[in-house]
Amino acid sequence: MLFTDRWFGGIRETGGHSSNKQTKGETMQLIRFGPEGQERPGLQQMDGIVDLRAVYPDIPDIDAQFFSNQWPRRLSGLKVSGQMMQTRLGSPVARPSKIICLGKNYLEHAREGGFDTPATPLIFCKSPNTLNGPFDPVLLPRSSGQVDWEVELAVVIGAEGKGIERQRAWEYIAGVTVMNDVSGRQAQFADSQWFRGKSFDTFAPLGPALVTLDEIDDVHNLRLTATVNGQLMQEGNTRDLIFDLPAILADVSADITLMPGDIIATGTPAGVGIFRDPPVVLQDGDEVACWIEGIGTIRNRFVRQADQ
C-alpha cells in the first residue's frame, strides 16, 4: 500500500488514515523544502527527500519555468535514494500567476449556507500573497474576525491553455495537492464580495506535496477531511463535486488563459464553521488539519499577529 501522508524531519505521519492506492514503482511527489524564501525543489519518497538541485544543478524552482520546460516528465522514473532530514516544507508551487477558487461546488456545502445550487461554476480568486507552507502558521488578520477553514482539492496547471476542451483537460494538469481555503468571514460578508476576506496573508496553506495524477487511482473518488484541534469538522468525497475537473478547466479557460503553475481550488464539502449552530470560528492557538486521501495532510496553527 502506498500512502505518503507527511514527511517532516524524516518522520512519516499517517494521521490514522489509509489509502487504497496500490504501489506502482517510484513515487512522484514534488516538494519544496528549506527555510522560507530559500526553498529548493525536491522529491518526497518513502525513504526521505531527494534534493533535486544535487542531481540537476540547473533545475529551476517549481514554478512556471519548471512546468514549461517539462521537468515533471524529465523527472519521471528518476532512481535516486532519498535522505531523512530535519527541514521545513514550503508550498509545493512557487509564484503562481493566480489562485482561482470555486464556491459552492459541493451540494451539501451550498445547502448548509442556504444557497441555490450554482448552474455554472462560481469563480473567485485569492491573491498569491496568501500562499503558505503546509505546516506554517496562519496569521489571524487584525481587520477581520470570524476566520474559518475549508479543505479543498487543489489542481496545479502544467501547461498554458485557453479554450481547453473537456476531453483534453487532463493534458493541462500537472498534479493535485491539498489546500485550506482560509476565509475571513467578517470581511467576506461585509464587503459583499469575497476577494479581501479570502486574500489575507498566509490564507492558502498548500501541500504537503504536488502529486502527479498517475499516483492516484481516481481523482474524482477521494475522501477529504478537516479537523480543528483534533475534532472532525468536515468529511466529504470528491465524487460529490458539482463540476468535475474537466468542466472546471473548460469553464475557467474559456476566456482566461491558464498559465503553468496556476492553482485552482475546486471547492469544499459541508462542515465549515460559520454555518454551524452556533458558529465556530478559529481562535489564537487553534490547529487545523486538512487531509485528502492519496495526497496527504497539511496542518497549520492559527496565531495572532504581534503588535507593530
Give a yes or no: residue 1 inside a domain. Answer: no
**In terms of C-beta density within 10 A (0-12 exposed, 13-18 middle, 19 or more buried), how is residue 217 classed?**
middle
pLDDT in the model for residue 108: 83
Of 90, 107, 126, the last residue of a domain is: 90
The radius of gyration of the chain's CA atoms, rounded to the nearest angstrom, is: 18
pLDDT at 46 over 60: yes
Amino acid letter, residue 264: I
Q: pLDDT tens across 94-104, in order? A: 999 999 999 99
Residues 86 and 104 in one domain: no
pLDDT in the model for residue 192: 84
Arithmetic mean of pLDDT, 287-297: 98
pLDDT in the model for residue 10: 35
Residues 187 and 112 in one domain: yes
pLDDT in the model for residue 282: 98
Give a yes or no: residue 184 inside a domain. Answer: yes
Question: Residue 66 is part of which domain span?
Answer: 7-90
pLDDT in the model for residue 281: 97
Give a yes or no: residue 271 inside a domain. Answer: yes
Residues 140 and 67 in one domain: no
pLDDT at 21 over 70: no
CATH no. for residue 239? 3.90.850.10
pLDDT in the model for residue 308: 55
Give a yes or no: residue 39 inside a domain. Answer: yes
Give a yes or no: residue 65 inside a domain. Answer: yes
Among 8-17, 50-59, 265-274, whose mean pLDDT is lowest? 8-17
Distance separating alpha carbons of residues 163 and 149, to the nearest angstrom: 32
pLDDT in the model for residue 27: 52
Residues 76 and 136 in one domain: no
Give a yes or no: residue 2 inside a domain. Answer: no
pLDDT at 297 over 70: yes
What pTM does this model have? 0.91
Q: Peptide bond preceding 278: is omega within 30 degrees of 0, i.e. cis?
A: yes
Of 90, 107, 123, the last residue of a domain is: 90
Give a yes or no: residue 59 inside a domain. Answer: yes
Biggest CA-to-CA distance, the chain: 54
Q: pLDDT tens across 164-200, in order? A: 999 999 999 999 999 999 999 999 999 988 999 999 9
Of 65, 90, 115, the last residue of a domain is: 90
DSSP string across 19-40: --PPP-SS--EEEEESSTT--E
Distance separating alpha carbons of residues 14 and 269, to the nearest angstrom: 22
Residues 184 and 137 in one domain: yes
Number of domains in the chain: 2
